[in-house]
Amino acid sequence: MHPLSNSNEAFDVIVVGGGHAGCEAAITTARLGLSTALFTLNLDRIAWQPCNPAVGGPAKSQLVHEIDALGGVIGKLADKTALQKRILNASRGPAVWALRAQTDKRLYAREMLKILQNTPNLALREAMVTDLEVEKLDKKIKPLVHSNEKRIGQIKGIKTYFGSIYEAKAVILTTGTFLGGKIWVGNQSMPAGRAGEQASEGLTEALQKLGFQTSRLKTGTPPRVDRRSLRLDCLEEQPSDAANRFFSFDPEAWISSKQMSCHITRTTKATHQLIKDNLHLTPIYGGFIDSKGPRYCPSIEDKIVRFAGKESHQIFLEPEGFDTPEIYVQGCSTGLPENLQLQLLRTLPGLEKCVMLRPAYVVEYNYVPATQLLPSLETKKIQGLFCAGQLNGTTGYEEAAAQGLVAGLNAAQIVKCQEAIHFAREDSYIGTMVDDLITKDLREPYRVLTSRSEYRLVLRGDNADRRLTPLGYQLGLIDERRWLLYKSKQQALEAEKERLERQRLKASDPRAIEIAKETNAPIKESILLADLLRRPGVHITDLARHKLADKNLPLPVLEGAEIDIKYSGYLKRQVAQIDQFKKQAKKLLPKNLDYLRITTISQEAREKLNESRPKSFGHAAELPGVSKADLTALLIWLKLHTNQNKKQFKIDRI
pLDDT 10s digits, 203-212: 999 999 999 9
Would you say residue 465 has pLDDT above 70? yes
Determine the CATH number of domain 224-364.
2.40.30.260
653 pLDDT band (50/70/90 cuts)? very low
**For residues 144 and 494, which has the higher predicted lDDT (pLDDT)?**
494
Average pLDDT of the segment spanning 569-586: 84
pLDDT at 278 over 60: yes
Q: Which CATH number fits domain 7-52+111-218+365-447: 3.10.20.30, 3.90.550.10, 1.50.10.20, 3.50.50.60?
A: 3.50.50.60
Query: How far, in Å, CA of 240 to CA of 72, rounded?
Result: 25
For the chain, percent of residues with pLDDT exceeding 90: 71
**404 membership: H or E segment, kind and range:** helix 397-415
Q: Which residues have CB under 8 Å from 40's CB, separation 6+?
A: 17, 18, 22, 46, 124, 125, 126
At 534, is the pLDDT very low, low, confident or very high (cuts 50, 70, 90)?
A: very high
The class (CATH top level) of 587-644 is mainly alpha
Mean pLDDT of the 226-237 span:
96
Question: Tell me, what's the pLDDT at 146?
Answer: 44
Q: How confident is the model at residue 225 (pLDDT cuts 50, 70, 90)?
A: very high
Kindly give, in sequence order, each residue whose CB lies less than 8 Å from that of residue 119, ignoring residues fewer than 6 positions away: 26, 27, 30, 31
Over 80: is that where the pLDDT of 394 sits?
yes
Is the per-residue pLDDT at 646 higher than 80? no
Q: Which pLDDT value is given to residue 140?
A: 54
Position with higher pLDDT, 150 vs 508: 508
Spatial CB neighbours of 166, under 8 Å, sequence gap ≥ 6: 7, 8, 9, 10, 11, 14, 37, 39, 157, 158, 159, 160
How far, in Å, CA of 627 to CA of 629, rounded?
Answer: 5
What pLDDT sits at residue 454?
86
Question: What pTM was computed for the model?
Answer: 0.90
- State yes or no: pLDDT of 10 exceeds 80: yes
What mean pLDDT is reported for the chain? 91
- C-beta of residue 77 within 8 angstroms of C-beta of residue 64: no
Taking residues 453-467, what's their average pLDDT?
A: 93
What does the pLDDT read at residue 294? 78
- Return the C-alpha torsion angle 414, 417, 420, 421, nearest 10: -100
What confidence score (pLDDT) does residue 3 get? Answer: 62
Q: Where are the domains of the chain?
A: 7-52+111-218+365-447, 224-364, 485-574, 587-644
pLDDT interval class at 139 (50, 70, 90) = low
Supply the pLDDT for residue 133: 96
CATH 3.90.1150.10 at 485-574, yes or no: no
The pLDDT score that the predictor gives to residue 145 is 45
Cα separation, 12 vs 541, in Å, equals: 50
Q: What's the pLDDT score for residue 237?
A: 96
Whether 70 contacts 27, CB under 8 Å: no
Categorize the per-residue pLDDT at 142 as very low, low, confident or very high, splitting at 50, 70 and 90: low
